[in-house]
Amino acid sequence: MRPVISAFLLGLLAAGCSSPTAPGEVEAAWLSFLKDGSTTREQVLLELGASSSSFEDGRILTSRLRYDSDLGVVPVPGGLLAPKEDYHLVVVFDQNGVVERHNLRLLE
């Protein structure tokens, strides 16, 4: 009986240990609207909702995002523990409210 239980537990453990999706893959699939030099602040807010934080009078926005295979990228409220599929997005806008640059990183 023990070998069956051990095999079952190992199977559960392996199922929960899938590797996270690379930020480049998430960005290509779910953040393709986000283009440096052309996407506006309004477009970012419409697509992602309110940011987690902002700096320099709103020139820099940060968002914590979670990749969900069914829903895509969804905002994560602050304070929640970061599972293996949480990302940190930083968006920097120019003086006209257009994305100057952005960066997506997997939270570790």
Listed in sequence order, the DSSP H helices in the chain are 2-15, 23-30, 41-48
Which pLDDT tens digit goes with each residue over 48-107? 888 889 999 999 999 888 877 777 777 777 655 555 578 899 999 999 999 999 999 988
Rounded (5°) CA angle 45-98-48: 15
Distance CA 2, CA 100 (A): 59
Determine, yes or no, domain membership for 27.
yes
Q: By residue range, what is the domain housing residue 49?
A: 21-106
Indicate the pLDDT class of residue 20, thresholds 50, 70 and 90. Answer: low
Pick from 99, 93, 87: which is nearest to 20 by CA? 87
| Number of domains within the chain | 1
Which pLDDT tens digit goes with each residue over 21-32? 777 887 887 889
Determine, yes or no, domain membership for 63.
yes
Q: pTM above the 0.85 mark?
A: no
